[in-house]
Structure 1
Amino acid sequence: MPRIDIDAYVAVHSHEWARLEELIRTRGRSGAVSDELVDRYQQVATHLSVVRTSAPDGELVSYLSSLLGRARIAMLATRVPRWRAVTGFFTGRFPAALYQLRWWWLGCLAGNVLVTAAMMLWLLHHPAAEQTLLSKAEIDQLVNNDFAGYYSEHAATSFASRIWLNNTWVSAECIALGILGIPVLYALYNNIANLAVIGAIMIHHGRGSLFWGLILPHGMLELTAVFVAGGVGLRLFWSWVEPGDLTRTAAIARAGRTAITVAIGLAAVLFVSGMIEAFVTPSGLPTWARIGIGAVAELLFLSYVFVVGRAAASRGVTGDLDPTLLEDRVAAQS
């Protein structure tokens, strides 16, 4: 593109920039005014692209970048009411991200289930191994008191909040450390190893029905959420290893924004599993009813992913931010 006369360009377009300034300052924008704000934002973004390409004037680039930054904030604050933004997140971005990343977390889920089963079976076929992990007194305490008592020793509301915070932290850790890869595998291994050891000891000592009756109601949804976090963390790591058509920085940034979307959404999923663990798992309901409630919660989550998420993805929704909120670069018109 040939160089432009910067003074002439400013003279021609300064009134458009002034109009965007005016729209940013406008309070209580109507729908039409909000639409104009978006249109002006895109228009000025094009101007910035032209200036950067054809007449890189540092002062003007700084001004237009600042103007667009303030416009982005204004659009984000007034584009939709808060409740619609929340609704849009849970009917669009979050399920779409889960659906698009399904093979990563489904693979993580399948792999962890298989490893847990293998560990548990090995321990059951080598019962002497449990003596190297816990003393006889500790095993008796676990089997006869600690395992069942864990779910009823605290008030339900306090227990629910503790469980939610702990599991949200574990999931966030898997995602936050995803770029490193190995810490995610380590966190997942610790999680399933603990489950396999306790399960094998309980089953070996004739308390298998108690173990499954207390683990399954909340564990199906809770562990699925943890495996989703693990899969998303590993996908973040892979975006660094194999960025595809993007630069490595851009690939990591995109995967990171999607990972944040999933982390926020999983907090809600883990809240549900925490409520089940606090109020359903230790309740006096029959075992079949408690496990049934957990199974329904798991099926609802999977339906959410493969029905709502698939529909959102088919509309072009992703777990990433709206492109208009990401950068100032818009293709310049020749």
Structure 2
Amino acid sequence: MKQSLFESRHQPDWQLFSAHLDALEKGKADPASNQSFVSEYRRICHQLALAQERGYSSHLIDPLQQLAMRGHQQLYRHRSPVGMQVLSFVMAGFPQLVRAQWRFVCMAGLLFFGSLIGMGLLVYGFPDLVYSVIDPRQVAEMEIMYDPAARRIGQAIERESSDDWMMFGYYIMNNIGIAFQTYATGLLFGLGSLFFLLFNGLMIGAVAGHLTGIGYGQTFWSFVIGHGAFELTAIVLAGAAGLQLGWSLVAPGRLTRGEALRLAAQKSLQLIYGVILFLLIAAFIEAYWSSMSWPAPIIKYGVGAILWALVFSYLAFAGRTAHAPD
């Protein structure tokens, strides 16, 4: 079905649902009309899924996404306690939002992982290149942290396991700071997010290439593979959210830049909620599992592979529902 026909056929439904949402948000809804709200909401979600599947333009999909999100908020505000709303977001809302923003996610992933892999290979092939990216003192610290003889891997100073909770807090603050920086600088027409995706990718790639080249690869990779599933994915999603902000300013479409930015911020902030959840999980794994030196590398690789598969499956399949053809 052509987009113009789809839009003309369903425009009355969208206007009706928008008016219903306005009334609910102002507390002026007719109780009798609330009985039809759930069916209206499901119809909007179904039409949004069809529009995305058929590749209709963002001028059609973005307003539908906004209606669906507003409907979701009203539905669970009136029907579910806060705990259920959070559970619904974690189990379905967040992965659905990631899939809905797949273009920004793919762009951020290519920038980050492309620069990481590219720099890693370059430094592995040309070892002295690492010093053009990272200060020699920091390189020396990295070598100490990932020395196979270290009792606690990934830490510049030996620590007792009882201090893991301190590292947990440090990892949370550090990682959330990086993610927020990558997201918020998207307000610079997306250029800030582009920069930090590339910068972080180049830095991590340089470290990975150098440590692999000097024979510390097994220590390094067995350390990062576990928490990296959540941490690296979170950086990509933060970058995607920032690129979404930037794109709303570069190409606002029929909206004013202010209105386009407001809509983009509402969607991207929900992505950031999920990013924070991922970073909390990553910090826990890094503090209490990754730094341990007693598990054999093969065990860490196995656990890491399971975690990567879990993250991919969650983002790709969680919250999916069957839709009938229209």
Q: Normalised by the size of structure 2, how large is the TM-score? A: 0.67
Structure 1 position 158 matched with structure 2 position 166: yes
In 1, Cα distance between equivalents of 2:320 and 2:114: 27
Report the AA paired with residue 182 of structure 1.
L
1:295 pairs with one of 305, 308, 315: 305
* Uncovered stretches (5+) of structure 1, i.e. residues with no partner: 1-19, 25-33, 43-72, 316-334
* Uncovered stretches (5+) of structure 2, i.e. residues with no partner: 1-22, 38-72, 148-152
1:260 pairs with one of 261, 264, 269: 269
> Residues 192, 82 of structure 1: CA spacing in aligned structure 2 closer, same or farther, 3 A cutoff?
same
Identity %, equivalent residues: 23
> Counterpart in 2 of 1:325?
none
2:211 pairs with one of 202, 214, 218: 202
More off after superposition, 122-131 vs 274-283: 122-131
Give the secondary-structure state (helix, strand or coil) at the position aligned to 2:318.
Answer: helix
How far 1:163 sits from its partner (Å)?
0.9
Select the structure with the greater relative contact order (CA < 8 A; seq sep ≥ 6).
1
> Residues 38, 295 of structure 1: CA spacing in aligned structure 2 closer, same or farther, 3 A cutoff?
farther
| CA-to-aligned-CA distance 1:122-178 (integer Å, 9 cap, x gap) | 22232233455544x765553244663518636222212221222122222222221
More off after superposition, 231-240 vs 298-307: 298-307
2:202 pairs with one of 155, 168, 193: 193
Report the AA paired with residue 36 of structure 1.
P
> Counterpart in 1 of 2:227?
218
How far 1:268 sits from its partner (Å)?
1.1
In 2, Cα distance between equivalents of 1:74 and 1:303: 28
> Residues 146, 213 of structure 1: CA spacing in aligned structure 2 closer, same or farther, 3 A cutoff?
closer
> Counterpart in 2 of 1:120?
120
> Residues 77, 138 of structure 1: CA spacing in aligned structure 2 closer, same or farther, 3 A cutoff?
closer
Contact 1:218 1:281 in 2 (8 A): yes
Contact 1:184 1:233 in 2 (8 A): yes
> Residues 193, 117 of structure 1: CA spacing in aligned structure 2 closer, same or farther, 3 A cutoff?
same
| CA-to-aligned-CA distance 1:93-120 (integer Å, 9 cap, x gap) | 3222111012321232133222222212
Give the secondary-structure state (helix, strand or coil) at the position aligned to 2:215.
Answer: coil
Contact 1:106 1:228 in 2 (8 A): no
> Counterpart in 2 of 1:105?
105
| CA-to-aligned-CA distance 1:228-272 (integer Å, 9 cap, x gap) | 110121122112211234443332211110111111121111111
- Trace 1:242-253 onto structure 2 (pairs within 5 A): 242-253=251-262
Q: Normalised by the size of structure 1, how large is the TM-score? A: 0.65
2:177 pairs with one of 169, 174, 187: 169
In 2, Cα distance between equivalents of 1:208 and 1:222: 19
In 2, Cα distance between equivalents of 1:211 and 1:191: 17
2:282 pairs with one of 257, 273, 276: 273
> Residues 166, 38 of structure 1: CA spacing in aligned structure 2 closer, same or farther, 3 A cutoff?
farther
Give the secondary-structure state (helix, strand or coil) at the position aligned to 1:238.
Answer: helix
How far 1:183 sits from its partner (Å)?
1.4
- Trace 1:1-334 onto structure 2 (pairs within 5 A): 36=31, 39=34, 78-131=78-131, 133-135=134-136, 139-145=139-145, 148-150=153-155, 153=159, 155-180=163-188, 181-283=190-292, 284-311=294-321
In 2, Cα distance between equivalents of 1:257 and 1:199: 36
> Residues 262, 143 of structure 1: CA spacing in aligned structure 2 closer, same or farther, 3 A cutoff?
same
